[in-house]
Amino acid sequence: MAHLLKRRRVRSFWAYTVLAGSLSWAALHFGGIHPALAMVPIIPFLPHAKRDLGFYNAAERALPDVMNQFQRWWHVPVQLILLLFALVNAGVQVSSVGPGSWIVLSSLLVGKPLGILVFTLGGIALGLRAPGGARAWDILLLGIVAGIGFTVALFFATAAFPPGALLDQVKMGALLSFAAFPIALGAGASARLVRQARRR
């Protein structure tokens, strides 16, 4: 459906969201896959600009292509939905800390920053450019911030595990990932001090 809409040069993201998205939702639901992922196979078919102006380029927000229209319209609603989802699904006792908590926490605080750093540097080595001229330390800092896995980690936890002790442990690991916030602040402050010292 999404491919057909693109071939017919449909320029409304609502057609892709309602028509193709609904079919995708039904297919995932009856196929035993979480239907919240329904838009994942649709997004690649959204008509987009021929050239990406850059993640930090303000002009990117004014582009009229379907992909940018979709992003601009859904940006705020998705943030609100994720917040509500997290608040509804985060209820768990503090005593639920266990092995599952530490596995999730280490994955978010160590694995995620390292993965972002390694793959970004790998892309740079292959000839790509870092967004905004970011350096290795900047990328690592962004990876640490990305380690706050409150909403997405909770979503996958509730989708992957049945109610019980293990699910509670995994949820606690996701909640504890807020530790990435003070770590990112400390790393950012340290980087600033090092740069100031070098300028002297």
Does 127 have pLDDT greater than 90? no
Instruction: Say yes or no to pLDDT of 52 above 70.
Output: no
Place of tokens 């540097």: 121
Q: Are 149 and 174 in contact (CB under 8 A)?
A: yes
State pLDDT tens for residues 186-198: 888 887 887 777 7
Output the CA–CA distances (angstroms, integers) from residue 120 to 105, 134, 141, in the order listed. 22, 10, 13
**Domain coordinates in residue numbering, the chain:** 2-89, 94-199
Position 51 confidence tier, pLDDT thresholds 50, 70, 90: low
Cβ neighbourhood burial of 100 (10 Å; 0-12, 13-18, 19+) = buried
Confidence band of 87 (pLDDT split at 50, 70, 90): low
